Amino acid sequence: MTKIQSFLRHGRHLRRAAGLTAAAVLAGGAAVGCSSSEAKTSDDSTKVTPVAAIAPSVPDRISIPAIDVDAKLDTVGLDADGVMETPPTDKPMEASWYRQGPTPGEKGAAAIAGHMDTAGTPKAVFYNVKNLKKDQEIKIHREDGTTAVFAVDSVETYKKSAFPTDKVYNKTDRSELRLITCGGELGKDRHWDSNVIAFAHLKGETKG
Summarised one tens digit per residue, pLDDT across range 89-140 is 999 999 999 999 999 999 999 999 999 999 899 999 999 999 999 999 999 9
What distance in Å separates the CA atoms of residue 25 and residue 53, rounded to the nearest whole number? 13
Which residues lie closer than 8 Å to 93 by C-beta, 6 or more apart?
33, 34, 35, 36, 71, 121, 124, 125
pLDDT in tens, 14-24: 444 444 443 33
Residue 44 pLDDT: 52
Q: pLDDT confidence of 171, banded at 50, 70, 90?
A: confident
Q: What value does the mean pLDDT take over residues 156-182?
A: 93
Q: How far apart are alpha carbons 57 and 52 in whole angstroms?
A: 15
For the residues 141-158, what does the mean pLDDT come to? 98
pLDDT value of position 189 = 79
- 22 compared with 208, residue with greater pLDDT: 208
Is 32 within 8 Å of 181 (Cβ atoms)? yes
Q: What is the CATH architecture of 12-36+51-207?
A: Beta Barrel (2.40)
Q: Where does residue 139 rank: exposed (0-12), middle (13-18), buried (19+ CB within 10 A)?
A: buried
Domain boundary assignment for the chain: 12-36+51-207
Question: If residue 102 lies in a helix (H) or strand (E), which one and from where to where?
Answer: none
Q: pTM of the predicted model, to two decimals?
A: 0.80
Place 192 in a pLDDT band, splitting at 50, 70 and 90: confident
pLDDT over 80 at 66, yes or no: yes
